[in-house]
Chains A and B, each alone.
Chain A
């Protein structure tokens, strides 16, 4: 049974239609990517899921029904508009916010101290929040999102303002949470960041779900007839069945004719004496899929 069911929600702010028709489901123990460009309606959809806004139409079910005060303690949320109380010490700030999520104070203090150690923030626990760097504050906010061991975690733009080391740390942490069985919704416009993490995705554009499903299946579906290769010797001037050859980063992209398969191309290359170091089916990136979907939709309209 899905932990989150968003069913045809819509929301207007005056004349602005922020969300037109968004639907998706998120299962327990999966990382779900809610993707789309800036202004697509992702944050509004999240706020509707969390009962910050009421939908004009459509329904949201979270942990088996509408959002309630009790369920707030079972959800962890890291909003895009981030902030902590600036004038109080870090530990006190986190303990207070954790107790608002239903933790006993002593329990909250213990868990927060563990997280502070893990996130290399233990030395700053008595510092005022405003004295911490932006990256440290980001990590503190992540602690606040996870400390009460929520069943559902919703993170809006999880990697903004993080350096590569901390980005990787957050990715690892989210993977750990997934193993623990947590339902994770990641909402971002940085689609490439989600490619290695998300199990399933929903792509939103102009307030509508334009693509929804298993990430691998989607990419396979949108895969063009092409392979990426790296060869140790020069390629022959003509490869039967291949109509386009062009460099792609450190590899070479071979586009083959309709009716051919990657296996046919592999056989052809071996027969032509090409020594292969690398061979892979060229999968489109999420950015490329998104552009393709939006262009097709615009063309249809």
Chain B
């Protein structure tokens, strides 16, 4: 059996069986779910299901109907009850059968002016639900398609001059995706890079190094370790994405959304094409650090330096938004260390020329290959040095072992 495959499998299985990995992989969705739950509870605490009343002196709304509800929702829409006059509405407000009443002004159709009367703060959804009720009843006699269009409002689509790219105003996820993916990438690369680093340092600390290098070449060992940890990181990312997809499917059924989140396959492809070599690059670099360091604690202190350059583009998100083709944005999307996040981020706001995408990904792949080579070399030089570091210069200059 191929020895790289053996190392790869052992590395992967060892990590995914660790309690810390299982805890780590579940903690993120659990944390997000907890945040969502807290959010829901806070909305629910503000929610008041009591109906509201309305007085329509000029008969603007004829044959009032409640807004039809298509799906069963956790928080029911607040019903609107018609009152002939303000006195009866006031009576209902006093006896608590409604939480507020709305008085449509005499020239409501011209001014849109409505007065709300209440004794205490209304539920968070009372005003918006009554707004929806008014809008629905005002257009309900129009042809259904027209009514639906009027209620949904505009969807502004911005298209580039050459037609190669367009962005709809409700397509916010395409813009958010690179940022979210970038954050997840940094977390995943940090976690699995740390695993790799610890694994290499551990082999020095527990003295298995000599047995290993007399069984397998350092190149095979490093390739197996880097790829194994790449899969650990990808497993982590995939699990999080899986939970995110579940969440995206559950959330609209719980909280009504006026649009469906859509993920553009092209941006997913670009994210994958930049993240994979970037992951190899960072993992190999961390492996090299592991080989040069003398103990795990020392190595961990260094790893932060590898993630800082990668997250730099996130600090300049506004620059990417407002000037995606500026010198800074272009430079960061081409520079291999910042490219993993900068390129997809820039692509979310502009059409990146094909040559720049090709150049950026090629540079990333080259740097990843170089990092692998260098880490194998440093590993070879540093593997049997207990308590003594390898200097970077040695990796390039020394021909012997």
Chain A interface residues toward B at CB < 8 A = 47, 50, 52-54, 56, 69, 72-73, 75, 77, 79, 81-88, 96-97, 99-101, 104-105, 141, 144
Name the residue in A83, A141, A144 with the highest tally of chain B Cβ atoms < 10 Å from its Cβ. A83
Name the residue in A88, A96, A100 with the highest tally of chain B Cβ atoms < 10 Å from its Cβ. A100
Check B208–A100 contact: CB distance below 8 A: no
Q: Which residue of A lies closest to B220 (CB)?
A: A69
Check A52–B14 contact: CB distance below 8 A: no
Q: Which residue of A lies closest to B207 (CB)?
A: A83
9 A-B interface contacts by CB (under 8 A): A53-B401, A54-B400, A54-B401, A75-B214, A81-B386, A99-B6, A100-B212, A100-B216, A101-B215
Q: Which residues does chain A contribute within 8 Å of B207, judged by CB atoms?
A: 79, 81-83
Report, nearest first, the 6 A-B pairs whose CB atoms are least far apart: A83-B207, A79-B210, A100-B215, A83-B206, A81-B207, A54-B400
Map CB proximity to A onto B1-30 as digits: 1 under 8 Å, 0 otherwise: 101001100100010000000000000000
Q: Which residues does chain B contribute within 8 Å of A75, judged by CB atoms?
A: 214
Cα separation A53 to B209 with both chains bound (whole Å): 13
Q: Which residues does chain B contribute within 8 Å of A82, judged by CB atoms?
A: 207
Q: Which residues does chain B contribute within 8 Å of A97, judged by CB atoms?
A: 211, 215
The number of chain B residues with a CB under 8 A from chain A is: 23
Cα separation A170 to B209 with both chains bound (whole Å): 23
| Given A52-B213, A97-B211, 13 other A-B residues pairs in contact with their CB atoms under 8 A | A47-B210, A52-B210, A52-B384, A53-B400, A72-B215, A75-B214, A77-B211, A79-B207, A82-B207, A83-B207, A97-B215, A100-B212, A105-B1
Q: Taking the complex as formed, is B217 at the interface, i.e. its CB lies under 8 A from any CB of chain A?
A: yes
Q: Which residue of B lies closest to A98 (CB)?
A: B215
Q: Which residues does chain B contribute within 8 Å of A105, judged by CB atoms?
A: 1
Cβ distance B282 to chain A, nearest Cβ, rounded Å: 24
Cα separation A47 to B400 with both chains bound (whole Å): 13
Check A144–B210 contact: CB distance below 8 A: no
Cα separation A50 to B383 with both chains bound (whole Å): 15
Q: Which residue of A lies closest to B221 (CB)?
A: A100
Cα separation A79 to B386 with both chains bound (whole Å): 14
Check B216–A52 contact: CB distance below 8 A: no
Q: Which residue of A lies closest to B199 (CB)?
A: A85
Cα separation A10 to B384 with both chains bound (whole Å): 19
Check B210–A96 contact: CB distance below 8 A: no
Check B214–A77 contact: CB distance below 8 A: yes
Q: Which residues does chain B contribute within 8 Å of A88, judged by CB atoms?
A: 14
Cβ distance B344 to chain A, nearest Cβ, rounded Å: 37
Say whether, besides A50-B214, A85-B206, A56 and B6 are in contact (CB < 8 Å): no
Map CB proximity to A onto B380-401 as digits: 1 under 8 Å, 0 otherwise: 0000101000000000000011
Cβ distance A155 to chain B, nearest Cβ, rounded Å: 12
Q: Which residues does chain A contribute within 8 Å of B211, judged by CB atoms?
A: 77, 79, 83, 97, 141, 144
Cβ distance B340 to chain A, nearest Cβ, rounded Å: 31
Map CB proximity to A onto B278-302 as digits: 1 under 8 Å, 0 otherwise: 0000000000000000000000000
Name the residue in B1, B7, B206 with the highest tally of chain A Cβ atoms < 10 Å from its Cβ. B206
